[in-house]
Amino acid sequence: MTTAHEAAPPDAARVATMAAGVLGALLALAGLALFDGRVALSIAAGAIIAVANLASLTAIIRAMLQPAVDDAAAEALAKEAAASDPAGPEEGHPPPEVDHAAEGKRGGGAWGLFALLKMALLFGGIWVLLTRHVVDPIPLVVGYGVLPLAIAVSGVLTSLAPRPSPRSQGRRARTRTE
């Protein structure tokens, strides 16, 4: 049974994305209340672009930096390989190690291409919105400004969240490998 102190820390990227959405909605409502619908639309467009940018950037970074095999799985693979090796480690043969560098390269080129496409869509989309006079520039920037605010809010909220104790982390790692 997991207590509140043993729960995993919150995902900072998810918290930042949700915070950006909430802050964008609040700013759009404030723009509607204080100004007019065009300002609210411009702020909402900037906030939507910021949330989409943050979500896609999170996916790109996670895919490119995600380890192929976590440490517990690597140990289990090494034990399996050692058990199936007739020579075994007792004759001076160390258990085979998982090559994290080779295993971690999962579609890095595709994600790099996606990152370039994301940048083209970001700048191209903003250019279309501004040149077609769909949105006003200053409220659009105000809406896009939720991005750094949400990242700051995420940092504060995740730093205040309870962390699992080192003892409970070791217990969880042992039960995962057994």
CA 4/CA 27 separation, integer angstroms = 33
Output the pLDDT for position 164.
73
Per-residue pLDDT of the chain (178 residues; tens, 9 = 90+): 445 445 677 799 999 999 999 999 999 999 999 999 999 999 999 999 999 999 999 988 888 776 655 556 666 666 666 666 555 555 555 555 555 555 555 567 788 888 899 999 999 999 999 999 999 999 999 999 999 999 999 999 988 888 777 765 555 555 555 5
Question: Around Cβ 83, how many Cβ atoms within 10 Å?
Answer: 10
Helices and strands (H, E) in the chain, number of each type: 8, 0
Ordered by start, the domain boundaries in the chain are 10-66+107-164, 69-105
What does 59-95 look like in DSSP terms, one character per residue?
HHHHHHH--SS-HHHHHHHHHHHHHH-SS-GGGT-PP
Question: Around Cβ 50, how many Cβ atoms within 10 Å?
Answer: 24
| CB 68, CB 104: distance < 8 Å | yes
Model confidence, pTM: 0.69
